[in-house]
Amino acid sequence: MPIPDFQTIMLPLLTFVADSQEHSKREAVDALSDKFQLSEVERKELLPSGRQAIFDNRLAWARTYLIKAGLLESTKRGFFKITELGKEVLQRGPESINIRYLDQFPGFTAFRTSSKERSTASCEQAETESEITPEEMLEVVFQGMRQRLATDILQNIKSCSPAFFERLVIDLLVTMGYGGTHKDAGEAVGKSGDGGIDGIIKEDRLGLDCIYIQAKRWENTVGRPDIQKFAGALQGQRAKKGIFITTSNFSSEAHDYVSRIDNRIVLIDGAILANLMIDHSIGVSPFATYELKRVDSDYFTEE
Grouping H, G, I as helix, E, B as strand and the rest as coil, residue 158 is: helix
pLDDT at 182: 64
Strands, sheet with 189-194, edge to edge from the N-terminal-most edge strand: 189-194, 197-202, 210-216, 241-246, 264-268
CA separation for the pair 11, 86 (Å, rounded) = 10
pLDDT at 93: 95
* E strands present in the chain: 23-24, 72-76, 79-82, 189-194, 197-202, 210-216, 241-246, 264-268
pLDDT in tens, 49-96: 787 899 999 999 999 999 999 999 999 888 999 999 999 999 999 999
Low-confidence ranges of the chain (pLDDT < 50): 117-126, 128-129, 192
CATH placement of domain 6-132: 1.10.10
pLDDT at 169: 87
pLDDT at 110: 85
Q: How are beta strands 197-202 and 72-76 bridged, if at all?
A: unpaired
Assign domain 156-279 one CATH number from 3.40.190.170, 3.40.50.300, 3.40.1350.10, 3.40.50.20: 3.40.1350.10
Residues 237, 261 contacting (CB under 8 angstroms): no
- The answer to pTM > 0.95 is no
pLDDT at 130: 58
Phi, psi (degrees; rounded to nearest 5) at 140: -65, -45
Asked, colleague to colleague, whether 6-132 and 156-279 share their fold, the answer is no
Closest C-alpha to 96, from 8, 28, 37: 8
pLDDT at 114: 63
CA angle 276, 282, 283 (to 5 degrees): 120
pLDDT at 207: 66
Q: How are beta strands 241-246 and 264-268 bridged, if at all?
A: parallel
pLDDT at 126: 45
Residues 279, 302 contacting (CB under 8 angstroms): no
pLDDT at 283: 93
Please state the domain extents for the chain: 6-132, 156-279
CA separation for the pair 176, 157 (Å, rounded) = 19
CA separation for the pair 122, 143 (Å, rounded) = 22
Q: Could you tell me what percent of the chain has a pLDDT over 70?
A: 84
